[in-house]
Amino acid sequence: TAFTSGHGTLLKRYTENVILSFDSDEAGQRAILRAIPILKEAGLTVRVLDLTPYKDPDEFIKGLGAQALEERIRKAMSSFMFQVKVAAGRYDQDDPESKTQFQHEAAKLLATIEEPLERKNYIEAVSREYYIGAKDLEDLVNYYGTSGYSSAQRQQTTPRQQERRLQVNEAKEEKKKQPQKLLLTWMVNEPQLFDKLEGIIGPDDFYEQIYHGVALLLFKQYEEEKAVIPGKILNQYTDLEDQKKIAELFNTTLKISPLAEDRDKALNDIVRRVKEDSIEQQMNATNDILRWQDLIKEKANLAKLHISL
């Protein structure tokens, strides 16, 4: 579910067509809806595999066999029709008012298709699939098209909305850096962690620039002196803002339960988050599909990680 534009660009180098298969529960549907625009932006043709009544391909093969799965793959629906199907599932098609609301939502989706012939073909497909008069649906699509309802129109925001969005993004980014900061602070407070985490965590796992620099110095210092001396590291920074951040990192006292079980859980959670973020950064940076597959396996194996203090 952590699918990014970098992944879409990488896939584009190896194929023109993608078939998405996620668990068929609500979370799986959300994952597909997030992945579709990323893949389309990368220039890929996207279809979606219907595994009903099973949750995932493994269950499907066990229940109906590999040949049935191949048939489903051949009949995989277009990403647009999947979006319409998900929208339809939110409305009661037997209730006139609810059905009308769905038809308006479908028309809005159709209005976002820029190419006239493609839009016309999808209008015909949606009208057939959901028993809507083609002319009525076309009129409704034209209404939303001429009234300015389009992807570009919906993306327009006021300066206040743009500022708010920027603040939210900055807050999310800062929150994502937090595990790196917490782990470095813990390692400074309890240097025995360097030995515990050997082969699991290294300086390159701290990808945030300032934390990466501190990690390089800390790991080198511990390797050479078997001790952590924060003052020596702080003295190597001349920028006041950097000094402030590093001093905060060194002087923070972590509020961790004294119970061994709680401490183990907290450490494993933080290490796992740092590694997950590090692996995602590497996945976004690599152009090697084999390396990408290795990173996916490495990320999956984090579920088995267990460190005892």
Q: What is the CATH number of the domain that holds 292?
A: 1.10.860
Is 266 a member of any domain? yes
Residue that wins the pLDDT comparison between 183 and 146: 183
Higher pLDDT: 105 or 168? It is 105
In three-state secondary structure terms, 288 is coil
233 and 141 both lie in a single domain:
no
Is there a single domain that holds both residue 132 and residue 199?
no
191 and 120 share a domain? no
Q: What's the token pair of residue 13?
A: 């180098």
What residues contact 140, with CB distance under 8 A and at least 6 apart?
Answer: 103, 104, 107
pLDDT given at position 175? 76
The residue-averaged pLDDT of 125-137 equals 93
- Within a domain: residue 46? yes
Domain that holds residue 39: 5-155
Does residue 249 form part of some domain?
Answer: yes
User: 150 and 247 share a domain?
Assistant: no
- Percentage of the chain beyond pLDDT 70 is 90
The answer to whether 74 and 50 are in contact (CB under 8 A) is no
**Helix spans in the chain (H):** 5-12, 26-41, 57-64, 66-74, 79-88, 96-111, 116-129, 134-146, 151-155, 159-189, 193-196, 209-225, 230-234, 240-251, 260-285, 289-301
Number of folded domains in the chain? Answer: 2
Same-domain pairing of 149 and 181? no
Question: Do 62 and 123 belong to one domain?
Answer: yes
Contact 130, 88 (CB under 8 A): yes
Do residues 222 and 127 both lie within one domain?
no
pTM of this prediction?
0.52
Same domain, residue pair 131 and 178: no
Most confident of 16-30, 166-180, 206-220: 206-220
Which helix (H) or strand (E) element contains residue 19? strand 17-20
Residue 85: pLDDT band (50, 70, 90) is very high
Enter the tokens of residue 95: 């209730």
- CATH assignment at residue 43: 3.40.1360
Q: Do 220 and 143 sit in the same domain of this protein?
A: no
The last residue of one of the domains, among 155, 186, 206, is: 155
Residue at 151 is within a domain: yes
> Does 138 share its domain with 259?
no
CA dist 228 and 219 (Å) reads 9
309 is a domain residue: no
> 155, 171, 201: which is the final residue of a domain?
155
Q: Would 70 be classed as within a structural domain?
A: yes
Higher local confidence (pLDDT), 142 or 159: 142
Confidence of residue 163 (pLDDT cuts 50, 70, 90): low
Residue 148 predicted with pLDDT over 80: no
Whether residue 15 is predicted with pLDDT greater than 90 in this model: the reply is no
Among 132, 155, 178, residue at a domain's last position: 155
125 and 214 co-located in one domain: no
Tell me the CA end-to-end span of the chain in Å, nearest whole number: 32
Q: Which residue has the tokens 């023109």?
A: 16
Whether 168 is covered by a domain: the verdict is yes
Residue 293 has pLDDT above 70, yes or no: yes
Q: Do 26 and 113 lie in a common domain? A: yes
Residue 263 lies in a domain: yes
Separation of alpha carbons 97 and 104, rounded Å: 11
